Structure 1
Amino acid sequence: MLQTYIDTEYAPEKCFHCNGTGHVNGKICEVCGGQGDVLVAQPAIVCPLCNGSGIFDNGTCRVCGGSGWALL
């Protein structure tokens, strides 16, 4: 299901931070809010800084905000 916002199409993609489960370490994933997916600008591009892990320098990746997807 694509959604359009201000001339940009977004589609749900699996959250890389929780691997689509909606939970991390027994807590609700703060990136996707427990949904297991995030809306990503299409075409979807894996974050080049953290390589899709959502983590960089032992913290949340500043480029993708932990989602694992580059937001263009």
Structure 2
Amino acid sequence: MRGNDQLDWTILRPGSLTDDSPTGKVQAGAEVEGSIPRGDVAALIATLLATGAGVGAQFEVVSGETPIAEAVAGL
């Protein structure tokens, strides 16, 4: 799929998923370790889709201190 120039793609690799309450804050990078609430993953995906950010990017994401909108803007 990555070789197809006709498609926009994003590869999001969350850490261990938890049922904890979402915090709205994440850490994204090439190699990060930890866990993340499912709600934060959902919010991150919604933000990526709404903004179009992250197209052509591959990254890992776990709970962190950066607000989701700020993390997405930095991709």
| Fold conserved between structures, TM > 0.5 | no
Q: TM class, shorter-chain normalised? A: 0.3 to 0.5
Q: Which has the higher strand share?
A: 1
Q: Which has the higher helix share?
A: 2
Choose between structure 1 and 2 for higher RCO, CA contacts under 8 A separated by at least 6 residues.
Answer: 2
Q: TM-score, normalised by structure 2?
A: 0.32
